[in-house]
A and B are shown apart, each in its own frame.
Chain A
Amino acid sequence: MTPVQQTYPAVPAAPAGVPAARGRALTKVYGRGDTRVTALDAVDVEFRRGEFTAIMGPSGSGKSTLMHCMAGLDSLTSGQAWIGDAELSALDDTGLTRLRRDRVGFVFQAFNLLPTLTALENITLPMDIAGRAPDRAWLDEVVDAVGLRPRLGHRPTELSGGQQQRVACARALAGRPEVVFADEPTGNLDSRSGGSVLSFLRSSVREMGQTVVMVTHDPVAAAYADRVLFLADGRIVDEMTSPTAERVLDRMKAFDSAGRVVEVG
């Protein structure tokens, strides 16, 4: 099979068919001796293009660690992670920085925006850092989708928490990354603000073809996703497609008791 010579847009760069991100035997161990914690225990995972994945699990189960390792923010103890066709362990600090800048989007639970920059400047920050002009049409589409056009000139302190998180989402998407990682993006928001952030993330997947991976505690939030991965003690213990809030809740309860049984046994 001879690959057809094709021109891809600058970002994303990986050939179609390759998953947006994947990990093999991801293992992360913190500390040593008595304080040794295995945060990730040989996790195999794949995030397909155009899919909205939620990651759930009890506190301390390794959700954030998984995201950080997948996104090149943290190094693995063993195993391999790819963003598109780029293998992360092959990259040095500058390579990882470029990768994050050009091919990954981030939304953190809090403190997503630089206080000195306006909302618009925050949205275009990664492109500005790269010295690249944003794709205007795409930027307009993203800005309209988050519904922040009238607030673009405001500084973060002049925005509500929900608005700030939507600016962060817009920033994550503005560079058309291969994958957006969001770590409890609605963790600090009331349900109404949270809902608007989640709707936006879902529509970015459904309508704009983006790939989103989101960590959450909240079954209602997870229900916005196409697929839910359940993590416990650093392992993926279950997966659910087309989730609803009730089904997720049920599953969580089941794990909770199962987990307790395992611990006791």
Chain B
Amino acid sequence: MRRATLRSLLAHKLRLALSAVAIVLGVAFVAGTMIFTDTLDRTFTALFQSTASDVGVTAEAGFDAGVDGTAGTRPVPAELAQRIRGVEGVAAAEGYVQAEGVYLLTADGQVLDTGGAPGIGASWITDPELSLGELTEGRAPERAGEVALDSGSAAEAGYTVGDRVTLLTPGPRVDATVVGVFTFGEDGGLAGASLTAFDLATAQDLTGAGDGYTGIQVLAADDVTDAELRDRVAAVVGDGYDVQTAQQQADEQSAALEEGLSFITVLLTAFAVIALFVGSFIILNTFSMLVAQRSRELALLRALGASRGQVTRSVLVEAAVLGVVGATLGLAGGFGIATGLRALFGTFGLTLDGDLVLSAGTVVWSYAVGVVVTLLAAWVPARRAARTPPVAAMREDHVAVERSLRRRTVVGAVLAAGAAVTLVGSAVAEDGGNAPALVGVGALALVLAAVALSPVAARPFARALGALLPRLAGTAGRLARDNAQRNPRRTAATASALMVGLTLVTGFGVLGASANASVDALVDDALRADYVVSTAVGQPFTPEVADRLRGLDEVAAVLQERFTQVQLDGQAVFAAAVDAATLDRGLTLEYLSGSSDGLAGRGVLVDETTAEARGWEVGDTVEAVSAGGQRAQLTVGGVYAANQAVGSVVVSLETDAALGGPALDRYVHVVLAEGTDAAAGRAAIESVVESYPVVSLKDRDEFAGEQKGQVDQVLLLINALLVLSVVIAVLGIVNTLAMSVLERTREIGLLRAVGMTRRQLRRTVRLEAVLISVYGSVLGLGLGLVLGVSLTRALAEQGITELVVPGGRLVGFLVLGALIGVVAAAWPARRAARMQVLDAIATA
């Protein structure tokens, strides 16, 4: 029995290879995604989580502000470090200062590109046991005018010890000499961020920390546990400080990290699920074909006395062997895919250092997909083959039993109904915060429903669309249509990989187009100033820029805009902080009650939604708490219609400062003086902005373009990921078609014998592929539209106010779908055409 199995496997080398390829593809896709996700996770975790101390002390936060750096924090007084050193069990304690907004300039005066990652400035921790940095060259900075650079930034900018460098800081520019180069953390990885180390005094000056610290790091003596030490330190420092063990810090930061990176994590997890889906489909498809094709052979074994169990078992053993081999190769292929993804992310400035991460989870899932899915794929047809009475199977053209699609119809309908309820629910949800999650659940249900229902719809679709084919392509067209209709399950399964890919591409296409339209609307409706000065990604920069612009004759008004997180009556919100005096010159707010005058004193403006939700009216008093713990009583001074430029809450710069907000601008809006020539005005502003390489000057169109550029970049990244799924889908179609061609060897021989030319035969295969891929594309477009519209609606509160369906692009996707069919058919079609007529006829 075993020998018979082995022989038959070897006898069909091509089939075997195709099945193995399917498993390798499927597993590689899953493994690649997981390896990459883990690597990404590891890199970010290393960036935020690395800590060398046993206990850390920081000022207690007013509330949990997450990882976003918009909230100001109170400094820790220096004398506290002294007190902590006196605690029993403390081996060492050292204060440090750390802040964002410190950028290294390259030799030609440009800001070193961090790809959106922060530029961090910090004091050098002198105790080597507490320091995360490890010098690889030179020494630590000891006085003003000396810095040490992280090795990544130094290498990228081409600096070594002894070079003179210029740094942009939240305060003034700094010229310094590089005295050292260091690696950071265990992997030396900063995920693209740059880290510049100063001596403590300089760092305190630059970040405006006075003689205080950002925090204090404490090293425990050998005879004391971290928890014990924490309790002792906490007793000494008293209220108003967070004292945490390294483990607590790591846990807290990783929780915050997860929240901060939720977008990427959700995206990649979704992608891994898609990978699992697509991979399983390809394997299921191919392997069930492989077994179905051999049903006659299996029937012969039955006729010769093999039991049902023996037949089923022999197929399963074969599947298991193939699954293990395929999964192993697929795992290797996954490394290739992950390497490619890393290179791709690298081109977007997100550098992932260190080796790729192969976690146990990846291995388990790879083999689960490779082996379990293959076994499942083999088991169903094997059992069916074993059940077929030997005589029936041995007959020349035994009728393939057509299984009913009723169960699928029912399951699909239930899922579709669930999806509809969830999606409609997301549209009418009161609490907008849950809407995106609801859309996610609805989308999953919708895709599953489509997968369940697509075999049901495959036949009518092939018939309807295929009705054109005989007219366009004669017999080739009709045969293509008939072949596509012949096995609706297979047609659907082949198409579904493409469907899933196109669903997401379309959905994100709608979202992206809507986001871009929203940017236009924002610029048209809310921006009033002639120019905006900002960094490319809304990072903070020095208020010197605004001060100097205010001094220009060509400038009539300057509006500084900052963002902060603050708790109002117990609920955290994002607030914009602006110049009260120039708010109405730089931005358009539509006041429903009150006006910009309401910002005076400790005034606050809120948007309509917030006012309604909280029941606030002009004149009400609100309790504000900053992340640093500062408190203030604010008076509602006005209510405005929803505005994307400022968000839901506006305070004055003075109020923000009182709440401990750092004196760093995110946007500066500039209004030209009346009668100023536009070119002259721009030149004047440019002359100021030029000396701050981190910011740039944009007119309204340029500003819109820059914002849209960011949307497009995110979309590009998502699409690049999805292209991979489409590529895998195409390979899946190639595989299924190649198997179909093999399966129809005798038919092809017959067709050739009665006079079908090679060209006609190729065309038949090609048309069948096009029919299948267009089917997948149409389903994908439909689902993607539903998904995109729901997602856009759900994200209305996040600023995507417009809904745009990019019709031209969708038509493009459909054409692309058809082209994919042509491309996928190329090899199987050639194989079909190359078959020797006599061999084909002789094949039983």
Q: Which residues of A contact B (CB under 8 A)?
A: 68, 73-74, 93-94, 97-98, 100-102, 106, 108, 110-117, 125-126, 128-131, 156-157, 161, 171, 188
Contact = CB atoms under 8 A, between A and B. Distances in A.
B754 A171 contact: yes
A74 B755 contact: no
A106 B753 contact: yes
B755 A111 contact: no
B758 A73 contact: no
A102 B754 CA distance: 9
Contacts, number: 73
Interface in B812-844: 837-838, 841
B399 A157 contact: yes
Contact of B754 (A68, A101, A161): A101
Interface of B: 396-397, 399, 474-475, 478-479, 482-483, 485-486, 746-747, 750-758, 760, 837-838, 841
Most buried by A among B396, B397, B755, B756: B755
Contacts of A125: 475, 751, 754
Contacts of B757: 94, 97-98, 129
Given A97-B755, A106-B754, A129-B475, A115 B838 contact: no
User: Chain B binding site: helix, strand, loop or mixed by DSSP?
Assistant: helix
Contact of A129 (B397, B756, B837, B838): B756
Given A73-B838, A106-B753, A129-B475, 18 more contacts: A73-B753, A74-B838, A93-B758, A97-B756, A101-B754, A102-B755, A108-B753, A108-B841, A110-B396, A111-B841, A114-B751, A115-B747, A116-B485, A125-B751, A129-B474, A129-B754, A130-B755, A131-B475
A208 to B, nearest CB: 19
A74 B760 CA distance: 20
Contacts of B752: 97
A interface, by DSSP: helix, strand, loop or mixed?
helix
Contacts of A112: 750
Contacts of B756: 97, 101, 129
A101 B761 CA distance: 14
Contacts of A98: 755, 757
B755 A94 contact: no
B754 A131 contact: no
A114 B747 contact: yes
A137 B746 CA distance: 31
A168 to B, nearest CB: 10
A157 B397 contact: yes
30 contacts: A73-B841, A74-B838, A93-B758, A97-B752, A97-B755, A97-B758, A98-B757, A100-B755, A101-B754, A101-B756, A106-B753, A106-B754, A108-B753, A108-B841, A110-B396, A113-B750, A114-B751, A115-B397, A116-B479, A116-B483, A125-B754, A126-B754, A129-B474, A129-B475, A129-B760, A130-B755, A131-B474, A156-B397, A171-B754, A188-B396
A106 B750 CA distance: 9
A188 B757 CA distance: 29
A130 B838 CA distance: 21
B754 A100 contact: yes
B701 to A, nearest CB: 57
Contacts of A106: 753-754
Contacts of B754: 100-101, 106, 125-126, 129, 171
Contact of A100 (B396, B486, B753, B758): B753
